Amino acid sequence: MKRISYLIRKSAGNIIKRPLSGITSLLLLLLLFLMFDLVWISALSVNWYLDRLVSKVDMEVFIEGSLSDTAAAVVFETVRDLYGVRTAEFVSKEDARERLNSLMGTDLLAGLEGNPLPRSINITFDSPFLSSDFLDQFEQNLRRLQGISEIFYPRGQLQKVENIRNLALKSVIFLGFAISLAVVLNLLQSIRLSAKTREEELMQHSLLGAGKVFLSVPYIFEGIFYALVAAAVGWALLIYASGYLTFKNVEIIFPTRLEIAYFCIVSCLIGMVGGYAGIRRSL
């Protein structure tokens, strides 16, 4: 216990004795973490907006005109019971005419003999199934049913949404690796400078029998401190600022508290790596 207390005091002493260098390191790390935080929030907000768009996607299945009403009802029941379907609505010829009249503001079919509009089934899907791959497979299954003439759904829109999601995910991953590397390099330089000013002290401890692990721990703690404080302050600033910023028709989505906690833990691990990398050459 005394050793741990000594190592913590030693690490705190290293930070206090170099206030200017410590503040500079903290500010640089804060800017790096803020950059990643903003990209992460942007990706979550974009994903939320895309989810809203995709949730409105439905599929319209047209039934052959030659099919009897009884057979059309059987087709409807079959489609309604398919895997992934949330709701299925049968649209009769009369319903289709009423919808057209409501859309156009007038009866375009007045004067025509009979009703040429087709019967159809409007299908909506549960959220996990709103993907181009699933809907492509679903369309193929529908085409195997007798009595189906045409199938329409916004396939191109879905593919664009998925491409944007993939791009956002890749951007977050790439920036995460890049910022992690920048944080490690920043800490490496800061810890190395700290160790340089204490070369004689490190030499004396080494001659007295102190091991490499014992000598490196205060500097590893120093790296963890810088990374953790920068990560925590960055999120605190963003959460505070979010209370004063509002955007019309745009929802700003933050990570959950648990995700922020995991982020801070990962920041500590990065700080540990940077601290060890900085002191390694001086051991």
Q: Which domains does the chain have, with CATH numbers?
A: 2-52+160-280 (no CATH), 58-153 (3.30.70.3040)
Q: Which of 175, 137, 132 is nearest to 156 (CA)?
A: 132
Instruction: Output the pLDDT for position 101.
Output: 74
**27 to 18, 31, 177: CA distances (angstroms):** 14, 6, 19
Q: Which amino acid is at 132?
A: S
Query: Order of strands across the sheet with 85-91?
Result: 85-91, 120-125, 58-63, 148-152
What would the mean pLDDT of 66-89 be, rounded to a whole number? 89
Distances (CA, A) of 220 to 186, 271, 273: 14, 7, 8
Lowest-confidence segment of 15-29, 54-68, 77-91, 133-147 by average pLDDT: 15-29
Give the mean pLDDT of 194-199.
Answer: 64
Of residues 8 and 64, the one with the higher pLDDT is 64
Q: Is the pLDDT of residue 76 over 80?
A: yes
State the chain's mean pLDDT as an integer. 81
Which class for 191: exposed (0-12), middle (13-18), buried (19 or more C-beta within 10 A)? buried
Model pLDDT, residue 59: 92
pLDDT over 90 at 95, yes or no:
no
User: Would the pLDDT of 262 be above 90?
Assistant: yes
pLDDT at 116 over 70: yes
Lowest mean pLDDT among 9-13, 26-30, 160-164: 9-13
Query: Cβ of 113: how many Cβ atoms within 10 Å?
Result: 6
Q: What is the mean pLDDT of residues 271-283?
A: 75
Q: Which pLDDT belongs to residue 200? A: 56
pLDDT at 108: 62
pLDDT score of 18: 66
Q: What does DSSP assign to residue 252?
A: P
φ, ψ (nearest 5 deg) of residue 149: -100, -50
Asked if residue 153 has pLDDT above 70, the reply is yes
Average confidence (pLDDT) over 3-25:
65
* pLDDT (0 to 100) of residue 112: 65
Phi, psi angle pair for 112, to nearest 5°: -85, 150
- How far apart are alpha carbons 102 and 96 in whole angstroms? 10
Q: Which residue has the tokens 């690490």?
A: 11
CA distance 63 to 92: 10
- Flag whether pLDDT at 283 surpasses 60: no
- Angle at alpha carbon of residue 224, lines to 219 and 228, rounded to 5°: 150
Among 110-114, 115-119, 122-126, 189-193, the least confident range: 110-114
Provide the pLDDT for residue 33.
Answer: 92
State what percent of residues in the chain have pLDDT above 90: 18
> What is the phi/psi pair of residue 92, to 5°?
-80, 175
Q: What are the phi and psi torsion angles at 62 (to 5°)?
A: -95, 140
Residues in the chain: 283
Indicate the burial class of 251 (C-beta count within 10 angstroms; 0-12, 13-18, 19 or more). Answer: exposed
* Mean pLDDT along residues 184-203: 70
In this structure, which amino acid lies at residue 246? T
The predicted structure's pLDDT at residue 263: 93
Is residue 252 within 8 Å of 45, Cβ to Cβ? yes
Prediction pTM value: 0.74
Q: How far is Cα 280 from Cα 4, in angstroms, rounded to an integer?
A: 20
- Is pLDDT at 213 greater than 70 in this prediction? no
Alpha helices in the chain (DSSP H): 2-16, 19-55, 69-80, 93-104, 132-143, 155-196, 199-207, 212-242, 257-280
Q: How far apart are CA 117 and CA 97, in angstroms?
A: 7
Q: Is the pLDDT of residue 19 over 90?
A: no
